[in-house]
A and B are shown apart, each in its own frame.
Chain A
Amino acid sequence: MAVLTVNDLCKTFGAGTARSNRVLDHISFDVRGQTFVSIVGPSGCGKSTLLNIISGVETHTSGAISVTSDDGRPARLGYVFQDPRLLPWRTVRKNMMYVQDKDDEVTRGRVDRYLDMVGLGKHGDFWPGQLSGGMQQRVGIARAFAVEPDLLIMDEPFSHLDAITARGLRAQLQDIWAQSKKTVVFVTHDVVEAVELSDRIIVLQPGGRIYEDITIDLPRPRRQSDPAVATLQAEVLARLEKMKAMTPQVAASV
Chain B
Amino acid sequence: MSNPVVEASPAAPAVTWQEGEALARKASARTRRKRLALLTAGWAAMFLIWQLAAYYLPFGVLPAPLEVGEVMWDIVVSGAFAENFFASVGKTFLGFVVATAVGAPIGYLMGRYDYWKAFFHDGVTVAGTIPALTYAVLSLIIFGISDLGPILSVALVSVPFVAINVAEGVRGVDQSLVRMSQAFGRSSRQIRREVFVPTLVPYVFAAIRMSFAVAWKVEALTEVFGGKNGVGFQIRSEYQLFNIDGVLAWMCLFIIFMLIVERLVLRKLENRVLAWRPEERVGK
Contact = CB atoms under 8 A, between A and B. Distances in A.
Contact of B195 (A56, A81, A87, A127): A87
Secondary structure at chain A's binding surface: helix, strand, loop or mixed? Answer: loop
Nearest to B278: A129
B177 A87 contact: yes
A112 B274 CA distance: 25
A180 interface: no
Contacts of B278: 127, 129-130
B56 interface: no
B198 A79 contact: no
Interface string A87-129: 1111000000011000000000000000000000000000101
A184 interface: no
A52 interface: yes
A77 interface: yes
Interface residues of A, number: 22
Contacts, number: 52
Interface stretch (B114-122, B183-191, B232-240): B183-191
B194 interface: yes
B180 interface: yes
Given A89-B198, A129-B276, A77 B180 contact: no
Contacts of B276: 88-90, 127, 129
A129 B186 CA distance: 23
B263 interface: no
Interface string A45-79: 00000001001110000000000000000001111
Question: Which of A85, A89, A99, A127: most chain B CB closer than 10 A?
Answer: A89
B176 interface: yes
A83 interface: yes
B182 A56 contact: yes
A53 to B, nearest CB: 11
Contact of B185 (A77, A81, A87, A127): A77
A56 B282 CA distance: 39
A201 interface: no
Interface string B259-284: 00000000000000001111001000
A98 B275 CA distance: 19
A52 B179 contact: yes
Contacts of B183: 55-57, 77, 79, 153
A99 B181 CA distance: 7
A130 B184 CA distance: 24
Contact of A147 (B177, B184, B275): B184
A56 B184 CA distance: 10
B186 A99 contact: yes
- Of A76, A99, A147, most buried by chain B (CB within 10 Å of CB) is A99
For the complex of A and B, the 9 pairs showing the least CB-CB separation, nearest first, are A129-B278, A99-B184, A89-B198, A79-B183, A85-B180, A57-B179, A55-B183, A89-B276, A127-B276
16 contacts: A55-B183, A56-B183, A76-B185, A77-B183, A77-B185, A79-B183, A81-B180, A87-B177, A87-B194, A90-B194, A90-B276, A99-B184, A99-B185, A127-B276, A130-B281, A153-B183
